[in-house]
């Protein structure tokens, strides 16, 4: 009898009776190590830590509900300190510090990050590889973001980040 992982379908050998051509399903060690955390419930932040790039989850009020460790490192902040912040506050956008606050300054009306996240919340439509700019006190930063709606939150993936071409001195 053949043994096959019921999740990834990897062949795991045979067991008695060896002359039986049927298949018995089990779970391989890599699948067990992946799924065991989920059986008792997995916190959103822990789930996001499985992504290989910075990602945060934002609710309909544009507030961060969770971030993975890579996002926390990118933003130079502990993950728990980010929860509850508006996106611009978390990413240290200079306009988030204006008297109007994050999302309410005149500059926010054309913010690609804000517009993309709001569209994904409203329509459920995912966006991939959207170029955006973030204005920080240290200068403009080029971003490439993607968004995807999962339940009541939008995952915001930052695929790349770097200084804007305008803020890099030429040689």
Note down pLDDT in tens along the chain; length 171 residues: 999 998 888 998 888 888 888 898 889 998 888 787 777 777 788 888 888 888 999 998 889 999 999 888 888 777 678 889 998 898 889 999 889 988 888 988 999 999 999 999 999 999 999 999 988 888 888 999 999 999 999 999 987 666 655 444 434
**Bridge partners, 156 (sequence order):** 56, 147
> Which tokens hold the place of 107?
């500059």
Give every CB contact of residue 7 below 8 A, 6+ residues apart in sequence: 27, 28, 31, 35
pLDDT for res 132: 93
Portions of the chain given CATH number 3.30.450.20: 44-167
- Cα gap 80→96, rounded to integer Å: 19
Domain 44-167's class? alpha beta
The SS3 of residue 146 is: strand
The pTM of this model reads 0.69
Structure tokens at 66: 């969770």
Q: Look at residues 107, 106, 101, 110 and name the one whose alpha carbon lies nearest to residue 61.
A: 101
């Amino acid at each position: 009898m053949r043994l096959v992982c019921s999740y990834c379908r990897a062949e795991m050998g045979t067991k008695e009776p060896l002359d039986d051509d049927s298949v018995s399903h089990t779970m391989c060690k890599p699948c067990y190590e992946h799924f065991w955390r989920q059986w008792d419930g997995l916190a959103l932040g822990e789930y996001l830590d499985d992504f290989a790039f910075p990602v945060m989850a934002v609710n309909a009020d544009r507030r961060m509900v969770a971030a993975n460790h890579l996002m926390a490192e990118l933003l130079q902040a502990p993950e728990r300190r980010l929860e509850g912040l508006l996106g611009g506050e978390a990413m240290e956008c200079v306009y988030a510090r204006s008297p109007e606050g994050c999302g309410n300054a005149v500059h926010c009306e054309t913010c690609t990050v804000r517009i993309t996240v709001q569209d994904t919340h409203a329509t459920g439509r995912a966006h991939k590889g959207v170029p955006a700019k973030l204005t920080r006190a240290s200068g403009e930063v080029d971003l490439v973001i993607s968004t995807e709606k999962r339940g009541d939150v939008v995952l915001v993936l930052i695929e790349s980040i770097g200084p804007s071409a305008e803020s890099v001195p030429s040689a």
